[in-house]
Amino acid sequence: MIEAVIGLEVHIELGTKTKMFCRCENRFGAKANTLTCPVCLGLPGALPRPNLEAVERVVRLALAVGAEVAPVLEFDRKHYFYPDLPKGYQISQSRTVLARGGAIQVGLRQIGLHHLHLEEDAGKLAHLGGRASVDLNRAGVPLVEIVSLPEMRSGAEARAFLEEIRLLAEHLAVAEVRMEEGVLRADLNVSVRQVGDPRLNPRTEVKNMNSFRALERAVAYEVARQSQALERGESLAQETRGWDDQAGQTYPQRRKETADDYRYLPEPDLPSYPVSAAWVADIASCLPPGPADLRQRFFAHGLSAETVAVILESRARSQLFEQTAALGADPVVVGQWIVGDLARVERESGESLADRAYAAADLADLIQRVATGSLAGPGAKRALELSYRDRRSVSAVVAEEGLSAISDEGALDPLIDQVLAAHPGAVQDLLAGQEKALGFLLGQLMRKSRSVDPKVAAKRIRERAQACNTGF
Protein backbone atom coordinates (compact mmCIF):
# COMPACT_ATOMS: atom_id res chain seq x y z
CA MET A 1 0.00 0.00 0.00
CA ILE A 2 1.30 3.38 -0.99
CA GLU A 3 0.71 6.51 1.07
CA ALA A 4 1.20 10.18 0.26
CA VAL A 5 3.48 12.43 2.30
CA ILE A 6 2.41 16.03 1.93
CA GLY A 7 3.82 19.27 3.29
CA LEU A 8 2.82 22.84 2.47
CA GLU A 9 4.67 26.12 2.46
CA VAL A 10 1.95 28.73 2.69
CA HIS A 11 2.55 32.39 1.87
CA ILE A 12 0.16 35.08 3.03
CA GLU A 13 0.52 38.74 2.07
CA LEU A 14 0.02 40.63 5.31
CA GLY A 15 -2.69 43.28 5.22
CA THR A 16 -0.46 46.07 6.56
CA LYS A 17 -0.93 49.66 5.42
CA THR A 18 2.66 49.89 4.16
CA LYS A 19 5.31 47.56 2.75
CA MET A 20 7.83 45.55 4.78
CA PHE A 21 10.93 47.74 4.53
CA CYS A 22 9.70 51.09 3.18
CA ARG A 23 6.67 53.32 3.66
CA CYS A 24 5.13 52.68 0.24
CA GLU A 25 1.44 51.86 0.38
CA ASN A 26 0.57 48.14 0.40
CA ARG A 27 -2.44 48.02 -1.87
CA PHE A 28 -3.69 45.74 -4.66
CA GLY A 29 -5.01 47.09 -7.93
CA ALA A 30 -3.14 50.42 -8.25
CA LYS A 31 -1.70 51.52 -11.61
CA ALA A 32 1.51 49.55 -12.30
CA ASN A 33 4.70 50.88 -10.69
CA THR A 34 3.02 53.76 -8.84
CA LEU A 35 3.58 52.35 -5.34
CA THR A 36 7.38 52.26 -5.38
CA CYS A 37 10.39 54.06 -3.94
CA PRO A 38 14.18 53.68 -3.97
CA VAL A 39 13.99 51.00 -1.23
CA CYS A 40 11.55 48.62 -2.93
CA LEU A 41 13.06 49.36 -6.37
CA GLY A 42 16.40 48.21 -4.94
CA LEU A 43 18.28 51.39 -5.90
CA PRO A 44 21.88 51.62 -4.63
CA GLY A 45 22.22 53.28 -1.24
CA ALA A 46 18.56 52.94 -0.21
CA LEU A 47 18.25 51.47 3.29
CA PRO A 48 15.42 49.24 4.57
CA ARG A 49 13.59 49.78 7.89
CA PRO A 50 11.34 46.98 9.18
CA ASN A 51 7.59 47.42 9.56
CA LEU A 52 6.61 46.67 13.18
CA GLU A 53 2.96 46.13 12.25
CA ALA A 54 4.00 43.22 10.00
CA VAL A 55 6.05 41.66 12.81
CA GLU A 56 3.10 41.98 15.18
CA ARG A 57 0.74 40.24 12.75
CA VAL A 58 3.08 37.26 12.41
CA VAL A 59 3.50 37.11 16.21
CA ARG A 60 -0.32 36.99 16.53
CA LEU A 61 -0.49 34.10 14.10
CA ALA A 62 2.41 32.32 15.81
CA LEU A 63 0.76 32.60 19.23
CA ALA A 64 -2.56 31.35 17.88
CA VAL A 65 -0.96 28.15 16.52
CA GLY A 66 1.15 27.59 19.63
CA ALA A 67 4.52 28.35 17.99
CA GLU A 68 7.43 29.67 20.01
CA VAL A 69 8.42 33.26 19.17
CA ALA A 70 12.17 33.89 18.85
CA PRO A 71 13.75 36.43 21.22
CA VAL A 72 15.40 38.25 18.29
CA LEU A 73 14.32 39.48 14.89
CA GLU A 74 16.98 38.90 12.24
CA PHE A 75 16.91 39.03 8.48
CA ASP A 76 18.93 37.27 5.78
CA ARG A 77 19.40 37.76 2.08
CA LYS A 78 18.23 35.01 -0.22
CA HIS A 79 19.82 35.43 -3.62
CA TYR A 80 18.28 34.48 -6.90
CA PHE A 81 17.90 36.13 -10.25
CA TYR A 82 14.50 36.90 -11.65
CA PRO A 83 13.25 39.98 -13.54
CA ASP A 84 10.63 40.76 -10.84
CA LEU A 85 13.32 40.94 -8.15
CA PRO A 86 15.20 44.21 -8.72
CA LYS A 87 17.73 43.82 -5.90
CA GLY A 88 18.79 40.34 -7.04
CA TYR A 89 17.96 39.07 -3.56
CA GLN A 90 14.95 38.81 -1.31
CA ILE A 91 15.10 39.86 2.35
CA SER A 92 13.93 36.78 4.24
CA GLN A 93 14.78 34.85 7.40
CA SER A 94 17.04 31.82 7.52
CA ARG A 95 19.39 31.71 10.57
CA THR A 96 16.67 32.72 13.03
CA VAL A 97 13.03 32.48 12.02
CA LEU A 98 10.39 34.51 13.84
CA ALA A 99 8.63 31.46 15.31
CA ARG A 100 9.16 27.70 15.51
CA GLY A 101 6.82 24.76 16.05
CA GLY A 102 3.10 24.89 16.72
CA ALA A 103 0.30 22.94 15.06
CA ILE A 104 -3.01 23.42 13.28
CA GLN A 105 -5.99 21.20 14.02
CA VAL A 106 -7.52 19.80 10.83
CA GLY A 107 -10.54 17.62 11.49
CA LEU A 108 -9.39 15.10 14.06
CA ARG A 109 -5.68 15.47 13.30
CA GLN A 110 -3.06 17.94 14.45
CA ILE A 111 -0.77 18.96 11.60
CA GLY A 112 2.57 20.09 13.01
CA LEU A 113 4.33 23.23 11.84
CA HIS A 114 8.06 23.49 11.25
CA HIS A 115 8.20 27.28 11.55
CA LEU A 116 6.80 30.68 10.51
CA HIS A 117 9.02 33.36 9.01
CA LEU A 118 8.73 36.86 7.66
CA GLU A 119 9.92 37.99 4.23
CA GLU A 120 9.18 40.41 1.42
CA ASP A 121 7.27 39.63 -1.76
CA ALA A 122 8.72 40.04 -5.26
CA GLY A 123 7.10 42.08 -8.05
CA LYS A 124 4.94 40.62 -10.75
CA LEU A 125 5.58 39.86 -14.40
CA ALA A 126 2.85 40.36 -16.98
CA HIS A 127 3.04 38.89 -20.45
CA LEU A 128 1.04 41.01 -22.86
CA GLY A 129 1.03 40.94 -26.65
CA GLY A 130 4.34 39.06 -26.88
CA ARG A 131 6.08 41.43 -24.48
CA ALA A 132 6.96 40.92 -20.85
CA SER A 133 6.56 43.83 -18.46
CA VAL A 134 7.13 44.09 -14.74
CA ASP A 135 4.99 45.71 -12.03
CA LEU A 136 6.87 46.41 -8.82
CA ASN A 137 3.90 47.55 -6.72
CA ARG A 138 4.01 44.15 -5.00
CA ALA A 139 7.81 44.22 -4.49
CA GLY A 140 8.46 44.57 -0.78
CA VAL A 141 4.96 43.65 0.41
CA PRO A 142 5.29 41.74 3.71
CA LEU A 143 4.71 37.99 3.61
CA VAL A 144 4.48 35.36 6.28
CA GLU A 145 5.58 31.90 5.22
CA ILE A 146 4.08 29.05 7.23
CA VAL A 147 5.97 25.80 6.73
CA SER A 148 4.18 22.63 7.77
CA LEU A 149 5.77 19.32 8.66
CA PRO A 150 5.20 16.61 6.01
CA GLU A 151 2.27 15.22 7.99
CA MET A 152 -0.67 15.42 5.61
CA ARG A 153 -1.82 12.26 3.85
CA SER A 154 -4.38 13.33 1.25
CA GLY A 155 -5.40 16.16 -1.02
CA ALA A 156 -8.55 16.71 1.02
CA GLU A 157 -6.47 17.10 4.16
CA ALA A 158 -4.06 19.52 2.46
CA ARG A 159 -7.03 21.54 1.27
CA ALA A 160 -8.59 21.59 4.75
CA PHE A 161 -5.24 22.70 6.22
CA LEU A 162 -5.03 25.58 3.74
CA GLU A 163 -8.66 26.57 4.41
CA GLU A 164 -7.98 26.61 8.16
CA ILE A 165 -5.00 28.93 7.53
CA ARG A 166 -7.28 31.24 5.56
CA LEU A 167 -9.66 31.35 8.54
CA LEU A 168 -6.77 31.99 10.95
CA ALA A 169 -5.62 34.93 8.81
CA GLU A 170 -9.19 36.29 8.75
CA HIS A 171 -9.99 35.94 12.45
CA LEU A 172 -6.61 37.11 13.73
CA ALA A 173 -6.70 40.14 11.40
CA VAL A 174 -3.47 39.03 9.71
CA ALA A 175 -4.76 39.56 6.17
CA GLU A 176 -7.94 39.88 4.18
CA VAL A 177 -7.56 36.81 2.04
CA ARG A 178 -8.90 37.39 -1.44
CA MET A 179 -7.72 34.33 -3.36
CA GLU A 180 -8.18 36.01 -6.76
CA GLU A 181 -5.64 38.67 -5.73
CA GLY A 182 -3.05 36.04 -4.81
CA VAL A 183 -3.01 37.01 -1.13
CA LEU A 184 -2.76 33.31 -0.18
CA ARG A 185 -0.44 31.02 -2.15
CA ALA A 186 0.90 27.60 -1.31
CA ASP A 187 3.87 25.59 -2.49
CA LEU A 188 2.99 21.92 -2.35
CA ASN A 189 5.59 19.28 -1.45
CA VAL A 190 4.49 15.75 -2.17
CA SER A 191 6.15 12.35 -2.22
CA VAL A 192 4.88 8.78 -1.89
CA ARG A 193 6.15 5.72 -0.01
CA GLN A 194 5.10 2.27 1.14
CA VAL A 195 2.97 2.48 4.28
CA GLY A 196 5.18 1.72 7.28
CA ASP A 197 8.41 2.80 5.56
CA PRO A 198 9.91 5.59 7.69
CA ARG A 199 12.13 6.85 4.84
CA LEU A 200 11.03 9.63 2.53
CA ASN A 201 11.36 9.41 -1.22
CA PRO A 202 12.50 12.47 -3.22
CA ARG A 203 9.66 14.96 -3.38
CA THR A 204 8.09 17.12 -6.01
CA GLU A 205 7.43 20.75 -5.31
CA VAL A 206 4.51 22.40 -7.09
CA LYS A 207 4.84 26.16 -6.80
CA ASN A 208 2.30 28.93 -6.34
CA MET A 209 -0.99 27.09 -5.97
CA ASN A 210 -3.61 29.78 -5.45
CA SER A 211 -6.87 27.86 -5.30
CA PHE A 212 -8.10 25.23 -2.85
CA ARG A 213 -9.49 23.07 -5.62
CA ALA A 214 -6.28 23.20 -7.68
CA LEU A 215 -4.28 22.15 -4.63
CA GLU A 216 -6.47 19.11 -4.05
CA ARG A 217 -6.30 18.12 -7.73
CA ALA A 218 -2.52 18.61 -7.90
CA VAL A 219 -2.03 16.26 -4.94
CA ALA A 220 -4.19 13.59 -6.60
CA TYR A 221 -2.29 13.93 -9.88
CA GLU A 222 1.16 13.78 -8.25
CA VAL A 223 0.30 10.82 -6.01
CA ALA A 224 -0.92 8.86 -9.04
CA ARG A 225 2.05 9.87 -11.20
CA GLN A 226 4.67 9.05 -8.56
CA SER A 227 2.98 5.79 -7.52
CA GLN A 228 2.95 4.61 -11.12
CA ALA A 229 6.63 5.54 -11.53
CA LEU A 230 7.51 3.54 -8.39
CA GLU A 231 5.50 0.55 -9.61
CA ARG A 232 7.43 0.66 -12.88
CA GLY A 233 10.63 0.55 -10.83
CA GLU A 234 11.71 4.06 -11.84
CA SER A 235 13.57 6.26 -9.41
CA LEU A 236 12.10 9.63 -8.57
CA ALA A 237 14.06 12.86 -8.66
CA GLN A 238 13.59 15.91 -6.48
CA GLU A 239 12.20 18.52 -8.82
CA THR A 240 10.03 21.60 -9.13
CA ARG A 241 6.92 21.21 -11.25
CA GLY A 242 4.29 23.63 -12.51
CA TRP A 243 0.50 23.12 -12.45
CA ASP A 244 -1.61 23.30 -15.60
CA ASP A 245 -5.12 23.83 -14.31
CA GLN A 246 -6.84 23.25 -17.66
CA ALA A 247 -5.08 19.97 -18.33
CA GLY A 248 -5.30 18.99 -14.65
CA GLN A 249 -1.62 17.99 -14.74
CA THR A 250 1.74 18.99 -13.35
CA TYR A 251 4.69 19.41 -15.71
CA PRO A 252 8.45 19.46 -15.07
CA GLN A 253 10.06 22.89 -14.58
CA ARG A 254 13.49 22.42 -13.05
CA ARG A 255 15.54 20.34 -10.68
CA LYS A 256 15.02 21.72 -7.17
CA GLU A 257 17.53 24.26 -5.87
CA THR A 258 19.14 23.49 -2.55
CA ALA A 259 19.65 26.09 0.20
CA ASP A 260 23.27 26.45 -0.96
CA ASP A 261 22.10 27.72 -4.34
CA TYR A 262 20.51 30.75 -2.65
CA ARG A 263 23.77 31.83 -0.94
CA TYR A 264 22.02 33.04 2.18
CA LEU A 265 23.90 35.67 4.13
CA PRO A 266 22.99 37.90 7.07
CA GLU A 267 21.28 41.10 5.83
CA PRO A 268 23.99 43.73 6.38
CA ASP A 269 21.60 46.71 6.17
CA LEU A 270 19.48 45.58 9.13
CA PRO A 271 20.66 45.02 12.70
CA SER A 272 19.36 42.28 14.98
CA TYR A 273 16.37 43.54 17.00
CA PRO A 274 15.36 42.17 20.40
CA VAL A 275 11.81 40.81 20.62
CA SER A 276 10.85 41.38 24.23
CA ALA A 277 8.88 38.76 26.13
CA ALA A 278 6.73 41.55 27.60
CA TRP A 279 5.71 42.74 24.13
CA VAL A 280 4.82 39.19 23.06
CA ALA A 281 2.84 38.76 26.30
CA ASP A 282 0.94 41.98 25.54
CA ILE A 283 -0.02 40.65 22.12
CA ALA A 284 -1.04 37.31 23.67
CA SER A 285 -3.26 39.04 26.22
CA CYS A 286 -5.45 40.61 23.54
CA LEU A 287 -5.38 37.81 20.98
CA PRO A 288 -8.80 37.47 19.30
CA PRO A 289 -10.40 34.00 19.25
CA GLY A 290 -9.24 31.76 16.41
CA PRO A 291 -11.50 29.67 14.16
CA ALA A 292 -11.12 26.50 16.27
CA ASP A 293 -12.38 28.26 19.43
CA LEU A 294 -15.21 29.97 17.59
CA ARG A 295 -16.26 26.74 15.92
CA GLN A 296 -16.64 25.07 19.32
CA ARG A 297 -18.57 28.01 20.71
CA PHE A 298 -20.93 28.07 17.71
CA PHE A 299 -21.60 24.34 17.95
CA ALA A 300 -22.32 24.76 21.64
CA HIS A 301 -25.08 27.22 20.64
CA GLY A 302 -26.73 24.43 18.65
CA LEU A 303 -25.91 25.67 15.13
CA SER A 304 -25.65 23.20 12.24
CA ALA A 305 -22.29 22.46 10.58
CA GLU A 306 -23.38 24.34 7.42
CA THR A 307 -24.41 27.42 9.38
CA VAL A 308 -21.17 27.39 11.37
CA ALA A 309 -19.11 27.19 8.17
CA VAL A 310 -20.86 30.20 6.61
CA ILE A 311 -20.61 32.34 9.75
CA LEU A 312 -16.94 31.42 10.24
CA GLU A 313 -16.07 32.65 6.74
CA SER A 314 -15.82 36.16 8.10
CA ARG A 315 -14.73 37.78 11.34
CA ALA A 316 -17.49 40.38 10.98
CA ARG A 317 -20.18 37.69 10.74
CA SER A 318 -18.76 35.80 13.71
CA GLN A 319 -18.71 38.94 15.84
CA LEU A 320 -22.23 39.93 14.81
CA PHE A 321 -23.45 36.42 15.67
CA GLU A 322 -21.91 36.44 19.15
CA GLN A 323 -22.94 40.01 19.96
CA THR A 324 -26.54 39.46 18.83
CA ALA A 325 -26.83 36.22 20.79
CA ALA A 326 -25.36 38.02 23.81
CA LEU A 327 -28.26 40.51 23.59
CA GLY A 328 -30.62 37.64 24.30
CA ALA A 329 -31.72 36.65 20.79
CA ASP A 330 -32.15 32.91 20.12
CA PRO A 331 -28.74 31.85 18.68
CA VAL A 332 -30.26 29.44 16.16
CA VAL A 333 -32.52 32.21 14.82
CA VAL A 334 -29.57 34.63 14.71
CA GLY A 335 -27.64 32.04 12.69
CA GLN A 336 -30.55 31.65 10.26
CA TRP A 337 -30.74 35.41 9.66
CA ILE A 338 -26.97 35.76 9.17
CA VAL A 339 -26.53 32.90 6.67
CA GLY A 340 -29.85 33.56 4.94
CA ASP A 341 -31.14 37.09 4.47
CA LEU A 342 -28.11 38.96 5.76
CA ALA A 343 -25.71 37.08 3.44
CA ARG A 344 -28.10 37.87 0.57
CA VAL A 345 -28.29 41.56 1.49
CA GLU A 346 -24.47 41.66 1.72
CA ARG A 347 -24.23 40.29 -1.83
CA GLU A 348 -26.96 42.46 -3.29
CA SER A 349 -25.79 45.70 -1.69
CA GLY A 350 -22.19 45.08 -2.74
CA GLU A 351 -21.06 46.13 0.74
CA SER A 352 -19.58 43.42 2.92
CA LEU A 353 -20.52 43.14 6.55
CA ALA A 354 -16.92 44.05 7.49
CA ASP A 355 -17.31 47.42 5.73
CA ARG A 356 -20.90 48.01 6.79
CA ALA A 357 -20.40 47.16 10.48
CA TYR A 358 -24.10 46.34 10.95
CA ALA A 359 -25.10 46.77 14.60
CA ALA A 360 -25.95 43.72 16.69
CA ALA A 361 -28.60 45.85 18.44
CA ASP A 362 -30.46 46.21 15.12
CA LEU A 363 -30.38 42.49 14.31
CA ALA A 364 -31.51 41.69 17.87
CA ASP A 365 -34.33 44.26 17.56
CA LEU A 366 -35.46 42.74 14.25
CA ILE A 367 -35.49 39.22 15.69
CA GLN A 368 -37.38 40.41 18.76
CA ARG A 369 -40.04 42.10 16.61
CA VAL A 370 -40.53 38.93 14.55
CA ALA A 371 -40.75 36.82 17.73
CA THR A 372 -43.52 39.04 19.15
CA GLY A 373 -45.35 39.21 15.82
CA SER A 374 -44.99 42.96 15.32
CA LEU A 375 -42.92 42.27 12.18
CA ALA A 376 -43.64 39.44 9.80
CA GLY A 377 -42.49 37.79 6.56
CA PRO A 378 -41.72 40.24 3.78
CA GLY A 379 -41.93 43.24 6.14
CA ALA A 380 -39.10 41.81 8.26
CA LYS A 381 -36.93 41.07 5.23
CA ARG A 382 -37.58 44.58 3.94
CA ALA A 383 -36.65 46.10 7.30
CA LEU A 384 -33.30 44.27 7.22
CA GLU A 385 -32.58 45.34 3.63
CA LEU A 386 -33.41 49.01 4.20
CA SER A 387 -31.63 49.32 7.52
CA TYR A 388 -28.51 47.67 6.05
CA ARG A 389 -28.49 49.65 2.83
CA ASP A 390 -29.48 53.08 4.18
CA ARG A 391 -27.63 52.85 7.51
CA ARG A 392 -30.84 53.43 9.45
CA SER A 393 -31.87 51.67 12.64
CA VAL A 394 -34.49 48.93 12.38
CA SER A 395 -36.86 50.92 14.58
CA ALA A 396 -36.55 53.98 12.30
CA VAL A 397 -37.10 51.90 9.16
CA VAL A 398 -40.15 50.13 10.60
CA ALA A 399 -41.72 53.41 11.72
CA GLU A 400 -40.89 55.46 8.62
CA GLU A 401 -41.75 52.79 6.05
CA GLY A 402 -44.84 51.51 7.85
CA LEU A 403 -43.51 47.95 7.99
CA SER A 404 -45.18 46.89 11.22
CA ALA A 405 -47.14 43.72 10.76
CA ILE A 406 -50.86 44.45 10.58
CA SER A 407 -52.27 41.80 12.86
CA ASP A 408 -54.85 44.07 14.37
CA GLU A 409 -58.27 43.16 12.98
CA GLY A 410 -59.43 46.76 12.98
CA ALA A 411 -56.62 47.67 10.59
CA LEU A 412 -56.84 44.46 8.53
CA ASP A 413 -60.60 44.33 7.91
CA PRO A 414 -60.94 47.35 5.58
CA LEU A 415 -58.08 45.99 3.42
CA ILE A 416 -59.58 42.50 3.37
CA ASP A 417 -63.00 43.83 2.46
CA GLN A 418 -61.53 45.72 -0.50
CA VAL A 419 -59.85 42.52 -1.75
CA LEU A 420 -63.01 40.43 -1.31
CA ALA A 421 -65.12 43.02 -3.12
CA ALA A 422 -62.68 43.08 -6.04
CA HIS A 423 -62.64 39.28 -6.43
CA PRO A 424 -66.15 37.90 -5.86
CA GLY A 425 -65.38 34.77 -7.93
CA ALA A 426 -62.55 33.79 -5.63
CA VAL A 427 -64.77 34.40 -2.61
CA GLN A 428 -67.36 31.99 -4.01
CA ASP A 429 -64.61 29.41 -4.67
CA LEU A 430 -63.35 29.76 -1.12
CA LEU A 431 -66.83 29.36 0.31
CA ALA A 432 -67.22 26.27 -1.90
CA GLY A 433 -64.18 24.80 -0.11
CA GLN A 434 -61.46 25.49 -2.67
CA GLU A 435 -58.36 26.21 -0.54
CA LYS A 436 -56.43 27.50 -3.57
CA ALA A 437 -58.69 30.56 -3.51
CA LEU A 438 -57.46 31.43 0.00
CA GLY A 439 -53.86 31.57 -1.25
CA PHE A 440 -54.94 33.81 -4.11
CA LEU A 441 -56.82 36.22 -1.85
CA LEU A 442 -53.94 36.31 0.62
CA GLY A 443 -51.59 37.12 -2.25
CA GLN A 444 -53.83 39.99 -3.34
CA LEU A 445 -53.87 41.27 0.23
CA MET A 446 -50.05 41.13 0.49
CA ARG A 447 -49.85 43.21 -2.70
CA LYS A 448 -51.81 45.94 -0.96
CA SER A 449 -49.62 45.79 2.12
CA ARG A 450 -46.32 43.89 2.44
CA SER A 451 -46.51 43.97 6.20
CA VAL A 452 -49.63 41.92 6.73
CA ASP A 453 -49.16 39.13 9.26
CA PRO A 454 -50.11 36.19 7.00
CA LYS A 455 -51.36 33.88 9.77
CA VAL A 456 -53.81 36.38 11.22
CA ALA A 457 -54.81 37.55 7.74
CA ALA A 458 -55.67 34.03 6.50
CA LYS A 459 -57.93 33.44 9.46
CA ARG A 460 -59.59 36.83 9.01
CA ILE A 461 -60.16 36.35 5.26
CA ARG A 462 -62.19 33.19 6.00
CA GLU A 463 -64.22 34.99 8.64
CA ARG A 464 -64.93 38.05 6.46
CA ALA A 465 -65.80 35.90 3.43
CA GLN A 466 -68.29 34.01 5.58
CA ALA A 467 -69.73 37.29 6.95
CA CYS A 468 -70.09 38.82 3.45
CA ASN A 469 -71.86 35.67 2.30
CA THR A 470 -74.41 35.70 5.09
CA GLY A 471 -74.81 39.46 4.62
CA PHE A 472 -75.97 39.05 1.00
Which chain residues interact with Zn ion by CB under 5 A? 22, 24, 37, 39-40
Residue placing its CB nearer to Zn ion in the complex, 39 or 320: 39
β-bridge mates for residue 76, sequence order: 92, 266
| Distance in Å, CB of 18 to Zn ion, minimum | 8
Handedness of CA 183, 160, 295, 111 (dihedral sign): negative
Residue placing its CB nearer to Zn ion in the complex, 37 or 359: 37
Residue placing its CB nearer to Zn ion in the complex, 134 or 177: 134
Residue placing its CB nearer to Zn ion in the complex, 37 or 468: 37
Residue placing its CB nearer to Zn ion in the complex, 23 or 255: 23
| Distance in Å, CB of 173 to Zn ion, minimum | 23
| Distance in Å, CB of 86 to Zn ion, minimum | 11
| Distance in Å, CB of 94 to Zn ion, minimum | 23
| Distance in Å, CB of 75 to Zn ion, minimum | 16
Residue placing its CB nearer to Zn ion in the complex, 40 or 165: 40
| Distance in Å, CB of 21 to Zn ion, minimum | 8
| Distance in Å, CB of 134 to Zn ion, minimum | 15
Residue placing its CB nearer to Zn ion in the complex, 120 or 453: 120
**Buried-state track 310-343, b at ≥16 Cβ within 10 A, e below 16:** bbbebbbbbbbbbbbbeeebebeebbbbbbebbb
| Distance in Å, CB of 35 to Zn ion, minimum | 7
Residue placing its CB nearer to Zn ion in the complex, 24 or 325: 24
